[in-house]
Amino acid sequence: MTKDNMDMFKDELRLLSTGMPVTSLSPCASPQEEYQAAFEDREQPFLEYYFFADRQEKKRALTRGEFWELASSGAAYLLNNGVAKGDRILHCFSQNTLYDAIFRLASVMLGCVPVTVNWQADDNERIVTKAKITGARFIIFDEEFAPRIEEIKSRARIKSALEAEKLESYKSDGSWRPAELRQDDEKIVIFTSGTTGEPKGVSLSYGNYLANRLTFEHYFDVSETTRLDIFLANPLHHTNSTAFLDWSMRRSGTRIYLLPRYATLYWKILVDAAKRKRDLLIAPMVSRHVDFLEELRNRSELPVPLDEIKDALSKTDMMIGSAPVGPTTIQRMLEYSNHLPIVRFGSTETCLQVMATPRSLSQGELRKAFEAGWSHSYNDETIVGYYIGRDHSPFTRVKAVRAIDPAHKDYFRTCDTGEPGYLVTQGPNIMSHYVGDAEATKSVFQEGWYTGLRDVVFALKNEADGELDYYWMTRDSALLIRGGANYSYDQIADELSRVLVEDFNLKKEQFRLAVIGLRVESEHEDSCCVTIQLGQEAADKRPQLEADFIDRARKRVPKGFRPDYVRFADIPTNFKGLVLIPELRLEYKKSLEEKGLAIYT
């Protein structure tokens, strides 16, 4: 970024209540000191890494001292191969690995900057693009990624590609010294998941992650002596696990359970972790994990008895984010855990955390808050919202506004209670900038607020304590426009899914359905384009659906929801189960053009 653009953010890392610097709440003078203090007690258990072989789990456990030594070797390994403070380095791992975690701490020691690579979605072309956008000249990679490295090196001007496993035998000569770090130094570049457009490189600072730590500790009301256990299976290339891993590295007494990915054995390992729970066991997850559990139960494929899973979940703070948490998920969570999950909300640009459902309400009061969004109406129109909680004062602040386009007559006017509008936020957790895109950065900061979420929400006053609760409706990039009105893709998909269940006798677990809008043979009006992905058990239904689905659905659903086209194909999703709209749009556009139809963009 230019100096002028950097000046835009230099005073951002302050408490919203008093204006004091966030660092005033930390006893440490620098980021480096904070990490060093967390690893002073070398005998503390720190990380248990699980890996899967022959349908069995194996484990490697490290104390804080052992982990620190490996990270020190990693820092020396990087330094001796030319990596210096400020250099960006692509983390090319094939799954969550012990080495990814180790080299993140090594990067703190050296002051270099990890750049995330999505092992679930990034092909070589996208990795090369990430290298060019960030100026990364180095790669750290694992064994499974090795066959791809030469092509990436040749196309992206990579100076060195380093094998992560070599740090095990690498001996540091002790000649290197830790980098001097400031809170505004870049800590990591995380690329967005691309659910609403091309992935962007988000630059997050050490100060952002300090705010993240303070936010979590305030929310969970922990003291210096609280012993935390954190259970991670979400990908480390995502902001979710990155934030929790960093928190554990900054906080003494915290233990991490790290899995390579979600798998059936997740539930067996969670049961073991719950049996050894100390003060708090926190498990970040997505709604799809709950769906997977239900499917395993229905197929009689649970890795441990259901009662043991229920007991484990009853002891676990389940933090669900990244997708709507509706009645089905809530019902399942209550059945499996006998308590409501924590719903959290945020984005990569906000260093994960902006809001969460409050811990101050009773289970009954929380249940009423969830239900309030499912039966809301505004101006005599029924709208559905999913509870995402409240902001984290004094670290984050939110409000709903009628418009975020400066040219709009209602620009930045605060919405009335119950009125849908755009969610905007403030706080020291907000990113520094998009890497290599000053225009995109400037476009998402207005009136001192971050406006890039583009989520449509409404707020209701809670009956129990009078505070404002926020409810997520949709993203504005996921709207079908027809007849002068906007319709949420998700809402249309829900209605059309009901047709499959009620008219064609399909079970919800036997299919996925996604909706996008494309201007087919029209310059002004979206057509409703439906993709259905059938499971193996429902594959024989395809001929009937091809013949009758559109006609049946058009007779049943509201006019604005009526489908125009249907195709049967796999639906591209990210690890959270969210539909990758840009990819789906491209695939659908191609399929219609092959039929000779004109698509207006």
pLDDT one-digit tens code per residue, 167-194: 998 877 666 688 899 999 999 999 986 5
* pTM of the full structure: 0.83
What confidence tier does 467 reach under pLDDT thresholds 50, 70, 90? very high
Mean pLDDT of the region 467-496: 79
pLDDT of 595 strictly over 60: yes
Does residue 549 fall inside a structural domain? Answer: yes
Taking residues 259-284, report their average pLDDT: 97
The pLDDT, as a whole number, for residue 198 is 66
Does the residue 542 lie in any domain? Answer: yes
Instruction: Kindly report, residue by residue over 84-109, the tens digit of the pLDDT.
Output: 999 999 999 999 999 999 999 999 99
> Does residue 8 have a pLDDT over 50?
no
Lowest mean pLDDT among 33-47, 137-151, 579-593: 579-593
- What per-residue confidence (pLDDT) applies to 486? 60
pLDDT at residue 561, as a whole number: 87
Cα within 13 Å of Cα(309), Cβ side: 21
Cα separation, 331 vs 366, whole angstroms: 13
Domain contains 188: no
Torsion, CA 326, CA 330, CA 333, CA 335, rounded to 10: -130
Q: Say what the pLDDT of residue 390 is.
A: 97
Residue 3 has pLDDT above 50, yes or no: no
Mean pLDDT, residues 112-135: 92
Instruction: Tell me 17's DSSP state.
Output: T
Q: In whole angstroms, what is the distance from residue 170 CA to residue 99 CA? A: 13
The average pLDDT across 544-565 equals 93
Average pLDDT of 401-405?
Answer: 91
| CA gap 343, 359 in Å, rounded | 11
The predicted model gives 418-444 an average pLDDT of 95
- 178 contact partners, CB below 8 Å, separation of at least 6: 32, 109, 110
Name the residue with higher pLDDT: 173 or 256.
256
Average pLDDT of the residues in 339-349 = 95
Task: Report pLDDT for 2.
Answer: 34
Residue 505 reports pLDDT greater than 80: yes
Under the phi-then-psi rule, with left for phi > 0, alpha for psi from -120 to 50, and beta for the rest, what region is 268?
alpha
Residue 54 CB neighbour total at 10 angstroms: 5
Q: Is position 512 within any domain?
A: yes
| CA neighbor of 385 nearest in space, from 473, 302, 459 | 473
380 versus 354: the higher-pLDDT residue is 354
As given in the structure block, the two tokens for residue 353 are 């955390």
Q: Does 260 map to a domain?
A: no
pLDDT surpasses 80 at 475: no
pLDDT > 70 fraction of the chain, expressed in percent and rounded: 94
The continuous run of DSSP H or E covering 100 comes out as: helix 98-110
C-alpha–C-alpha distance, residues 107 and 88, integer Å:
10
Give the residue, 17 or 275, on which the prediction is more confident.
Answer: 275
The pLDDT confidence band at residue 489, using thresholds 50, 70 and 90, is confident
Q: In which band, very low, low, confident or very high, does the pLDDT at 5 lie, cut at 50, 70 and 90?
A: very low
Rounded to an integer, what distance in angstroms lies between the CA atom of residue 173 and that of residue 175?
5
Distance of alpha carbon 222 from alpha carbon 572, whole angstroms: 39
pLDDT band at 562 (very low <50, low <70, confident <90, very high): very high
**Predicted local distance difference test score (pLDDT) of residue 121:** 75
Q: What pLDDT, on a 0 to 100 scale, did the predictor assign at position 601?
A: 63
Alpha helices in 438-541 (DSSP H): 438-443, 489-504
Please give the pLDDT value at position 171: 77
Q: Which residues pair with 445 in a beta bridge?
A: 450
Question: Residue 92 has what pLDDT?
Answer: 98
Mean of pLDDT over the chain? 91
Q: Is residue 563 in a domain?
A: yes
Residue 521, domain extent: 483-600
Classify residue 559: in a domain, yes or no: yes
Q: Is the pLDDT of residue 11 over 80?
A: no
- The structural domain count of the chain equals 1
Supply the CATH number for residue 585's domain.
Answer: 3.30.300.30
Residue 562 in any domain: the answer is: yes
- 3-state SS track over 112-164: CEEEECCCCCCCHHHHHHHHHHHCCCEEEECHHHHHHHHHHHHHHCCCEEEEH
